[in-house]
Amino acid sequence: MPSIPTVHFGLAGLGNVGMGVYKNLLRNGDLVASRSGVRLDVRKIAIRNRDKHVAAGVPAALLTTDWRDLVNDPDISVIVELIGGTTDAYDLVKSAILARKAVVTGNKALLAERGIELVALAERENVPLYFEAAVAGGIPIIKAVREALIGNNIEAIYGIINGTTNFILTRMSDDGLSYDDALAEAQQLGFAEADPYLDVSGWDAGHKAIILAWLSYGQWVSPDQVHVEGISHLTRSDLAFARSMGYAVKLLAVVRLDASKNIEVRVQPSLVPRSSILASINGVMNAVAVYGDIVGETLFYGSGAGQDATSSSVISDLVDAADNLINEAGTNNGFVPHGQYGASLPVADTISSYYLRLHVDDRPGVIAAIASLLADHSIGILSMNQPEVDASANGADLMLMLHKASYGSMLAARNAIAALDCVRQPPVLLRVEKFPARHA
């Protein structure tokens, strides 16, 4: 048997995912070597607290508290960045590229906010940059778009790409929990951080959507051009009503191209038809539906987060980086976009149907006033539902399903309705998402 070459890598960050990479390579390193023809060897690990990791069984000789030691080590050919954030991580990745070391990262915020700089630098230096773990954890969605669908124009992507919010919405819908109780359970089970802002605000999914848009269309969309809404304003009533109407509520990332080649990128809680496969994605699982002009619809499903799932994607990228180095390809920079499309489509110009929930005075004339304002903005009412009024509720809930309109017109109508004296609480507005016909 011929000897198997070894590629030495440096690991920056030994948190949840970093520890997963370390322990899973110890467990399956021989398997990876036999399948890939290259052995991966961790040469050095940059951490903040040496004593903590020595106590956990990591050899002290592997540890350093300065990530620059990874960049400056001539034996290290690949650097894995798993420290998170956008400051030290940026400095590390930039330094690694300038040192002509291949980079693997799972840092979606870094790519979304500064990817345009890092990708340009990697292309200039002809250094591979890989980031499979940055989107949807263990689902190989980056490889799918980059390789399997390389012959397709991507028409649209619809994704449930945040497991925390999907768990919360599932518990609210299926078990009647309040938002606060479902979030507390997610935190207790380790599905949500102590500070859940990035998840529940929608921005974790927003960062991933920016990466998917670039992969699909070659256009970096600035975070300030991406419309992102979270789920904290939703109630059990919203999910129960959606269910009764044949919908599930999902935090949905949408990336698609309009007829004028403008890119639409947004993340919002949306009503998804129960006839859609995406409506059945429950708990912490993720799913991404990709529509190509040749292949049609493809669906990718799996664990979107967690130590093992995400570390699996990191190891996959490590193998690609090592293969690139061993075979001296010199041209595989992780992914090169296939073209530049038009500008980002303003969210006000996007079109959809809507769900609108209002809490209003229970008296004559209220519905007429609301209908009049909707008509003023050329928005028609598909259906209206008013649950039986509880005398102790201090008002009545009113749920409306509305015809298609631009989001700008819908926001203007919502704001006008919110200003009515009879409206007691801020309105809740959700999109009703319609998929291409072949999705059903």
By annotation, the residues acting in catalysis are: 208
Name the residue among 139, 143, 104 with its Cα closest to residue 21. 104
In three-state secondary structure terms, 7 is strand
Please give the Cα distance from 360 to 370 (Å, whole number).
Answer: 10
> Do the beta carbons of residue 90 and residue 114 sit within 8 Å?
yes
> Do the beta carbons of residue 357 and residue 414 sit within 8 Å?
no
Q: Determine whether 12 is exposed, middle or buried from the number of CB atoms within 10 Å of its CB (0-12, 13-18, 19+).
A: buried
Contact partners, residue 378, CB within 8 Å, separation at least 6: 405, 409
Which DSSP state fits 67?
A: T
Q: Determine whether 207 is exposed, middle or buried from the number of CB atoms within 10 Å of its CB (0-12, 13-18, 19+).
A: buried
DSSP 260-316: TSPEEEEEEEEEEETTSGGGG--TTEEEEEEEETTTEEEEEEEE-SSHHHHHHHHHH
